[in-house]
Chain A
Amino acid sequence: MSRKLLLEHINVPGINTLEVYRQKGGYRAVEKALKTLTPEEIVEEVKKSGLRGRGGAGFPTGMKWSFLAKPEGVARYLVCNADESEPGTFKDRYLMTYIPHALIEGMIVSSFALGAKVSYIYVRGEMMPQIRILEKAIAEAKAAGWLGKNILGSGYDLELYVQPGGGAYICGEETALLESLEGKRGNPRIKPPFPAIAGLYGCPTVVNNVESIAAVVPIINDGGDEYAKIGIGRSTGTKLISASGNLVKPGVYEIELGLPVEEFIYSDEYCGGIANGKRLKATVAGGSSVPILPANLTLKYANGEPRLMSYESLSEGGFATGTMMGSGGFIAFDEDQCIVRNSWNFARFYHHESCGQCSPCREGTGWMEKVLHKIEHGHGKMEDVDLLWDIQRKIEGNTICPLGDAAAWPVASAIRHFRDEFEWHIKEPVKSQSQNYGIANYANPIEKAPVTEEK
């Protein structure tokens, strides 16, 4: 069994209550931070831990904190990004549902470190049940003196509020989130200035993902150096992986970074293999925005070495033969799934969610959706594949925020690795409506699931 830092007590009955959470050692980090550490020392511990942003970008959290401007007499804000909307990702929902106090404890310690007197947790509006859970937990914490005025007699005041979103993927982008929190449309801002200089209400602001903030708790309890011992290379600590698709046991798993991908998919401790005894065709390893990989490249690099669940290993080979860790939304496709249909589905998603500010994204995502719809439904022409390639090239890198890239990459990687399947749809317009292409030769499929082999 690997080490669990965030989900260690997930199965303890009543862990969602303050009482049980305290019995299991909860709020120790607040006591330690407020009574024995200075804000600078906390930032230093987080830097030492090597913690990288768990929302998708993987930027070092401690470094992000150290960029926060501290002009005299100006309020500073910490905003937690709980707008979890990346297809394939559902870890933050899980954490907030079952251990809400882990997030609240992390928010108190982090707010203290950053000097924020008011902090917000921006939760996507659809998660009303989680909003109710968090509000209840905040009320509990406040009644017990963990929030409010003069916490633990330290002289530090903090108010924590939950803000619901309105249903928009784009608000997971930090500047769009801040716009939304200010009561506006979720249009991302042009950077610079970065939120660390001018964020919420024009004040210095840090925006961190739920999981990043929760991870601050074990970092303060055990020390940054201890946290950095877990994991591999620059991928330190543990990571929550949301596993979905055609798996025996989909769900949220906490892994030590560096776990072999093959073990994650096939071992009974994790996903337990591909459902219904089928073979793995492809995976999207880090949420819908990252490149899709065929089974062989998911499990091994192009040179045959095993691929690991870490920031570096998942991106080994660049976009030619690799992918990205992203938010840890791991989607598995079995041999019966159609890559063209999935690409169309994702393209529709990005078209739907584009905020419309930048023309390449607003127009390009719609074109990609239409062309993919055409191919999927048997009306495609051979030149459409090149057209798709051309469109995605013209979106990538040409937009204010990364939604454009996120829309382009899945299409590009699907064509890169599964071009034959697109061409088959075009050559076989009738057959492709009633049959699936199956596993392709070029994808060098795993002949049998290893689990079956062992039996």
Chain B
Amino acid sequence: MLKVEEQTPVVFSSELIAKFDEVKSRYPADKSKSALLPLLHLVQAEFLWVPTSAMDKVAEYLCIQPIEVYEVATFYTMYFLKPQGKYALEVCRTGPCCLVGAEKILNHLENKLGVKEGEVTADGLFSFRGVECLAACGFGPVLQISPEYTFYENLTEASVDKLIEDLKIKS
């Protein structure tokens, strides 16, 4: 749900607006609403989540009603409606990945990070959640890390540990 306390003032840089303009040019002039999903991805890449205030500004940019942005941002699963860790880990939890141990990986992440699914670690670095099929079933268990959506395949508890250590060093 969209809450009042999540109103964070945002500023769209001129670089971001330039990217918006490029996306908008892909559609017929009177169909610029088509740019909505790509624009929300650009917003999320910039702020690591999609604050309501940013949705309002996107609505203004596309000359549509804010509700048209809200309904889209809440329908699709990729848009974070509250702040996440710097690295948001998303583990596939659908059938084929579970046949090869995805549930174990999710439990392991919970223990390793010391937070529950959807929560952010105290240092602000990590959050994780289970997501539905990521279309990499033959290479499961898999996880992806937003905002780059880099993919990690054939996970084991050890490879997850290493990944987390590497990310800690990288930050």
Given contacts A166-B76, A337-B99, A349-B95, contact A86 B133 (CB under 8 A): yes
- B71 near A: Cβ within 8 Å? yes
Per the bound structure, the CA–CA distance linking A128 and B139 in Å amounts to: 18
Q: Is B41 an interface residue (CB 8 A)?
A: yes
Q: How far is the CB of B91 from chain A (nearest CB, A)?
A: 12
For residue B68, give the distance in angstroms from its CB to the closest CB of chain A.
8
Q: Which residues of B contact A245 (CB under 8 A)?
A: 96, 99-100, 137
Q: Give the segment of A27-35, A56-64, A177-185, A431-439 that binds chain B.
A: A177-185
A120 to chain B, nearest CB (A): 8
The verdict on B35 contacting chain A, using a C-beta distance below 8 Å, is yes
- Assess whether B135 is in contact with A164, with CB atoms less than 8 Å apart: no
Interface centre among B31, B78, B140, B148 (most CB of A within 10 A): B78
**C-alpha gap A86/B73 in the complex (Å):** 22
Closest to A249 in B: B138
- Other-chain residue from B94, B137, B148, B149 in contact with A242 (beta carbon distance below 8 A): B137
A88 to B134 Cα, complex, angstroms: 10
A contact residues, range:
35 or more
A166, closest chain B residue (CB): B76
A182 touching B31 by the CB < 8 A rule?
yes
Instruction: Give the interface residue-count category, chain B.
Output: 35 or more
Please determine whether A346 and B75 come into contact, CB atoms closer than 8 angstroms.
no
Which A residue sits closest to B133, measured CB to CB?
A87
Q: Give the complex CA separation of A124 and B41 in angstroms.
A: 12
Contact B135 A93 (CB under 8 A): yes
A252 on the B face (CB < 8 A):
yes
Known contacts A163-B37, A166-B79, A185-B72; A88/B31 CB under 8 A: no
The B132-155 residues at the A interface (CB cut-off 8 A) are 132-140, 144, 148-151
Min Cβ gap A346→B in Å is 6
Asked if B34 lies at the interface with its beta carbon under 8 angstroms from chain A, I say yes
Which of B131, B134, B139 is the one whose CB lies under 8 Å from A250?
A: B139
Do A246 and B94 form a contact, CB below 8 Å, given A87-B137, A125-B37? no
Q: Is the CB of A181 within 8 A of B137?
A: no
Q: A88-B95, A164-B38, A201-B28 are in contact. Are A126 and B134 (CB under 8 A)?
A: yes
Most buried by B among A87, A182, A242: A87
- B78 touches which of A126, A185, A250 (Cβ 8 Å): A126
Q: A125 and B96: CB pair below 8 A?
A: no
Contacts of B35 in A (CB 8 A): 183
Is B99 in contact with A90, judged by CB distance below 8 angstroms? no
Interface residues of A in 155-193 (CB under 8 A from B): 159, 161, 163-169, 180-186
Assembled-state Cα–Cα distance A171/B78 (Å): 13
Instruction: State whether B37 touches A88 (Cβ < 8 A).
Output: no
Partner of B75, one of A75, A181, A185: A185
Query: Chain A: which residue is nearest B37 at the CB level?
Result: A166
Q: Select A92's contact among B76, B135, B151, beta carbons within 8 Å.
A: B135
Assess whether B137 is in contact with A167, with CB atoms less than 8 Å apart: no
Asked if B111 is an interface residue, CB under 8 A from chain A, the answer is no
Q: How far is the CB of B13 from chain A (nearest CB, A)?
A: 21
CA distance A168 to B33 in the complex (A): 18
Inter-chain CA distance A180–B38, complex, in Å, is 11
Query: Within residues 68 to 112 of chain B, which ones have a CB less than 8 A from any CB in chain A?
Result: 68, 71-72, 75-79, 93-96, 98-100
Tell me, yes or no, whether A89 is within 8 Å of chain B by CB. yes
Is A167 a contact of B31 with CB atoms below 8 Å?
no
**B78: nearest residue on chain A (CB-CB)?**
A167
Query: Would you call A88 and B137 a contact (CB within 8 A)?
Result: yes
Verify B26–A244 contact, CB threshold 8 A.
no
Tell me whether B40 is interfacial, beta carbon within 8 Å. yes
- Contact A166–B95 (Cβ < 8 Å): no
**A186 / chain B contacts, CB cutoff of 8 Å:** 75-76
* A345 within 8 Å of B (CB atoms): yes
Q: Report if A197 contacts B (CB, 8 A).
A: no
Q: What is the CB-to-nearest-CB distance from B61 to chain A, in angstroms, rounded to a whole number?
A: 12
Q: Is A218 an interface residue (CB 8 A)?
A: no
* CB of B36 within 8 Å of the partner chain: yes
Is A90 a contact of B34 with CB atoms below 8 Å?
no
CB proximity of A250 to chain B, nearest CB, Å: 4
Considering the chains assembled together, what is the distance between the CA atoms of A180 and B26 in angstroms? 15
Q: Which of A90, A129, A353 has the most CB of B within 10 A?
A: A90
List chain B residues, Cβ under 8 A from A352: 132
Closest partner residue, chain A, to B69 (CB atom): A183
A367 to chain B, nearest CB (A): 19
Give chain A residues whose Cβ lies under 8 Å from the Cβ of B28: 75, 201
- Other-chain contact of B99, A201, A243, A333 (Cβ < 8 Å): A333
A90:B100 contact, CB within 8 angstroms: no
Residue from B38, B72, B98, B135 in contact with A127 in the complex, judged by beta carbons closer than 8 Å: B135
Q: Which residues of chain A in 313-346 are interfacial with respect to chain B, using CB atoms and an 8 Å cutoff?
A: 329, 331, 333, 337, 341-342, 345-346
> Which residues from A are CB-within-8-Å of B139?
90, 250-251
Interface residues of A (CB under 8 A from B): 75, 84-90, 92-93, 124-129, 159, 161, 163-169, 180-186, 201, 242-246, 250-252, 284, 288, 329, 331, 333, 337, 341-342, 345-346, 349, 352-353, 355
Q: A128-B149, A184-B72, A355-B75 are in contact. List 12 more A-B contacts (CB 8 A).
A: A87-B94, A89-B137, A90-B138, A93-B136, A165-B76, A166-B76, A182-B31, A182-B33, A244-B99, A245-B100, A345-B95, A349-B133
**Listed A/B pairs (15) with beta-carbon separation below 8 Å:** A75-B28, A88-B96, A88-B133, A124-B135, A126-B134, A128-B148, A165-B76, A166-B77, A181-B34, A182-B34, A184-B68, A184-B71, A184-B72, A284-B95, A345-B98
Closest 9 pairs between A and B when the two form their complex, measured CB to CB: A166-B76, A167-B78, A244-B137, A183-B36, A128-B149, A183-B33, A250-B138, A167-B77, A185-B75
